[in-house]
Amino acid sequence: MSDFKNLGTQELKETKSQLLERYRNFQSRKITLDMTRGKPCPAQLDLAMGMLDGTDGIQYLAQDGTDCRNYGGLDGIPEAKALFADYMGVDVDEVIIGASSSLNMMHDTFMRAMVKGVTEKTTPWMKQSNIKFLCPSPGYDRHFFICEYLGIEMIKVDVRDDGPDMDHIEDLVAKDEGIKGIWCVPKYSNPTGIVYSDEVVDRLANMQVKAPDFRIFWDNAYAVHYLEDAPAELKNILSACKQAGNADRVLMWGSTSKISHAGSGIAMMAGSKANMDHAKKQMAFQTIGPDKLNQLRHVKFFKTMAGIEDHMQKHAAILKPKFDAVQTALENELAGKNIAEWSQPRGGYFVSLNTMEGCAGSVVDLAAGAGVKLTPAGSTFPYKKDPLDRNIRIAPSFPPLEDIHQAMELVGICIQMVSIEKLLSS
């Protein structure tokens, strides 16, 4: 295919008219496809049905004799703590098992920081002024929504192939006491799919930080969510922070929402013992404890970290063809045309696509006009504003394979149409 930027006006117009015909053909088929959210598909959810059946589903006694049907267990039953400490790469006293949502645990950590402060010795964020957060972008929209909701100023930081722009970050945090933290999705990042390099992890752990109550919000949502045979390596940031003498700098989260059942999984928080003790002390005012029956179900079903990894191979077998279909469709439509670039993720739930500047919003609108719903342009940036209007997040996990073929072909058509429009008008 030829580079669109080398085509003359006439060629562009002809190509556009061919594309318009294909687009109208799509419209006439009256399809309705939703590619907006990183939801598991039913076949993935079926994989964990064994968790609910008669064998594991009616178990209620934990190893230590705890009746999981009764009150108690603020930070989890011992076998769940053991399994998910392993999952998070921390010691058992460095993990808290929560309810089903890690987002909920992150939100609540913000709320406690706002009202009570990050430690007993620091001032509540509500009593400080000009609170800010670093937001590597494109990133996870719900992270940014929490900051916006709480009136925390978001500072955009670029994302590179090996993680966020560390030069920029080091410069900012060293001098601004108002910067209280950074959002990180370190592995198969949402939406870029990148994995933080060892160097980035080390620099985050070691950097000079002005605010005494600065925290890295480390949302390791896709720790074992690989599309290949083996997971990418991610350096353990808690170990790195300890080594740097900054053990309390990082708070980590994970969940089984995309391992067992979304919304009915197990969420967990991890960090230094001091951080976990502080969180537990505060959580004791909030709850007597989360659903322990669900914890037990998870442990009975997965048993070990190896059990989780085996299970994730089954997820990968379902997801890999869907991610491949996205790549194939984008290659077919866009290769060599110099109007878009996109990620080839080795894990996670998204493909991140960049159009020419100023085109993403129009592409999303155009696709919607033919029945394919994409995540609104801008969603992956603070305040829902992509300054270059070029990033589109594609979520191929939920729709059936055939739908993805169709949807991505249409997306390819729309990108070409909008790009030609832009080239013609410039």
Q: Closest distance between a copy of itself and the C-beta of residue 127, in Å?
A: 8
Closer of 115 and 306 to a copy of itself (Cβ): 115
Closest contact distance (angstroms) between CB of 190 and a copy of itself is 14
Q: How far is the CB of 58 from a copy of itself (least distance, A)?
A: 5
- In whole angstroms, the minimum distance from the beta carbon of 179 to a copy of itself comes to 20
Selection from 329, 331, 332 nearest residue 341 by Cα: 331
Of 109 and 416, which CB lies nearer to a copy of itself in the complex structure? 109
Collect all residues with Cβ–Cβ distance below 8 Å to 305 and sequence separation of at least 6: 83, 86, 87
CA 83 – CA 151 distance, rounded (Å): 37
Shortest spacing between CB 76 and a copy of itself, in angstroms: 12
Q: What is the 3-state secondary structure of 244-290?
A: CCCHHHEEEEEECCCCCCCCCCCEEEEECHHHHHHHHHHHCCCCCCC
Tokens of 255: 């969940």
| Calpha distance 303→87 (Å, rounded) | 12
DSSP annotation string for 315-349: HHHHHHHHHHHHHHHHHHHHTTSSSEEE---SBSS
Question: Residues 203, 141, 312, CA angle at the centre, nearest 5°?
Answer: 75
Going by C-alpha positions, the residue among 59, 1, 16 that lies closest to residue 298 is 59
Q: Which of 18, 286 has the CB closer to a copy of itself? A: 286
- Between residues 45 and 244, which has the closer beta carbon with respect to a copy of itself? 45
Amino acid identity of residue 247, one-letter, is: A
CB of 293 to a copy of itself, least distance (A): 5
| HSE, side-chain direction, 13 A CA sphere, residue 144 | 21
Q: Please identify, using beta-carbon distances, which residue of 23 and 140 lies nearer to a copy of itself.
A: 140
76 vs 231, beta carbon nearer a copy of itself: 76
Least separation in angstroms between CB 186 and a copy of itself: 21
- Of 164 and 265, the one with the shorter C-beta distance to a copy of itself is 265
Contacts of 266 (CB under 8 A, 6+ apart): 80, 84, 97, 98, 100, 255, 256, 260, 294, 295, 298
The site for a copy of itself (CB under 8 A) is made up of 37, 39-40, 42, 45, 48-49, 52-54, 57-58, 60, 67-73, 99-101, 103-104, 107-108, 111-112, 114-116, 124, 126-127, 142, 145-146, 149-150, 257, 261-264, 282, 285-294
Nearest-approach distance from CB 288 to a copy of itself, in angstroms: 6
CB of 43 to a copy of itself, least distance (A): 11
Q: Which is nearer to a copy of itself, 384 or 422 (CB)?
A: 384
Across 341-380, b (16+ Cβ under 10 Å) vs e yields ebbebbbbbbbbbbbbeebbbbbbebbeebbbebbbbbbb
Question: Would you say 124 or 358 has its CB closer to a copy of itself?
Answer: 124
